[in-house]
């Protein structure tokens, strides 16, 4: 069990440069799991217990909040390469159920670290602590951003922002999705999204196709 996984070691060095302590890298390489998810796969569902912290190597992960009663869900943010899910830190330290659902947006590769280590590493490795704090910080900012986009922005601005984020997460100007999916993510009706997309096409921001949106 305690052999160092060379593949993980390499990936850490290339994707998580901030975790620069050799001993830490080696520990992760010992206890981490390489995991792969296909596009669209649910990684962690609402209500499940979190027992792994993900370090994202490749692909991107969509994080959404589920509403308890109605079947609504709200898109929160995308996780990209080199990032981690700070929600999972708090969830697993408290041993609480997940408030969110994460799905693979693309084919995704990550290193799963069992939660029992994340706490003890905080004391042991300054770079780990730093990494955890930094991801909290950046996630807080993103959350605040999405909160006020919901509170203050009009739907069309949110839509454009969503498309941009999706393009960034996916590293491509071409987004493959349906109007219905977008509507679900933004908690809006399909018709509204269709109409707004039409406007964006007219104003030359995007180009529409079936199951396809191209950013210009």
Partner DNA sequence: ACATTAAGTGATT
Partner DNA sequence: AATCACTTAATGT
**Of 18, 147, 208, 216, the one binding DNA by CB under 7 A:** 208
- Could you say whether residue 179 binds DNA (CB under 7 A)? yes
Give the Cα separation of 28 and 156 in Å (integer).
43
Using the minimum distance from each CB to DNA, give the nearer residue, 171 or 180. 180
- Could you say whether residue 180 binds DNA (CB under 7 A)? yes
Site string for DNA, 68-97 (x = CB under 7 A): ------------------------------
Residue appearing with tokens 């969509």: 62
Using the minimum distance from each CB to DNA, give the nearer residue, 10 or 181. 181
Chain centre to alpha carbon of residue 182: 16
Bridging pattern class, strands 61-66 and 73-79: antiparallel
Using the minimum distance from each CB to DNA, give the nearer residue, 2 or 71. 71
- How would DSSP label each residue in 23-61? HHHHHHHHH-EEEEE-TT-EEE-TTPBP-EEEEEEES-E
**Of 48, 67, 171, 211, the one binding DNA by CB under 7 A:** 211
Q: Who's near 145: CB < 8 A, 6+ residues apart?
A: none
Instruction: Tell me the window of 38-46, 112-120, 131-139, 172-180 that interacts with DNA (CB under 7 A).
Output: 172-180
Other CB atoms within 10 Å distance of the CB of residue 173: 13
Positions in 140-169 near DNA (CB under 7 A) = 154-156
Using the minimum distance from each CB to DNA, give the nearer residue, 10 or 212. 212
**Of 178, 205, 207, 214, the one binding DNA by CB under 7 A:** 178
- Distances in Å between the Cα of 6 and the Cα atoms of 9, 10, 81, 117 are 5, 6, 19, 19
Using the minimum distance from each CB to DNA, give the nearer residue, 31 or 192. 192
Q: Who's near 89: CB < 8 A, 6+ residues apart?
A: 53, 118, 132, 135, 136
Instruction: Tell me the window of 25-33, 88-96, 99-107, 175-183 that interacts with DNA (CB under 7 A).
Output: 175-183
- Could you say whether residue 51 binds DNA (CB under 7 A)? no
Positions in 184-203 near DNA (CB under 7 A) = 187-192, 194-198
Q: Which two tokens stand for residue 43?
A: 């990684």
Q: Which residues bind DNA (CB under 7 A)?
A: 154-156, 178-180, 187-192, 194-198, 208-211
């Amino acid at each position: 069990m305690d052999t160092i996984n060379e593949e993980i070691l390499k990936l850490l060095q290339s994707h998580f440069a901030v975790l620069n302590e050799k001993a830490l890298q080696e520990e992760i390489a010992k206890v981490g799991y390489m995991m792969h998810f296909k596009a669209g796969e649910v990684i962690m569902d609402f209500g499940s217990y979190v027992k792994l912290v993900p370090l994202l190597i490749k692909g991107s992960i969509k994080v959404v909040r589920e509403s308890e009663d109605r079947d609504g869900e709200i898109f929160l943010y995308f996780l990209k390469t080199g990032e981690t899910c700070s929600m999972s830190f708090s969830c697993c330290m408290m041993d609480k159920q997940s408030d969110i659902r994460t799905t693979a947006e693309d084919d995704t590769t990550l290193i799963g670290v069992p939660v029992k280590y994340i706490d003890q590493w905080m004391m042991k490795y300054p770079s780990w602590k730093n990494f955890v704090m930094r991801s909290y910080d950046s996630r807080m900012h993103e959350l605040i951003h999405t909160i006020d986009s919901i509170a203050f922005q009009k739907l069309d601005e949110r839509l454009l922002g969503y498309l941009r984020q999706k393009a960034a997460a996916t590293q491509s100007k071409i987004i493959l999705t349906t109007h219905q999916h977008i509507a679900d993510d933004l908690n809006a009706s399909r018709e509204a999204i269709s109409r707004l997309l039409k406007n964006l096409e007219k104003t030359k921001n995007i180009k529409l196709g079936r199951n396809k949106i191209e950013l210009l």
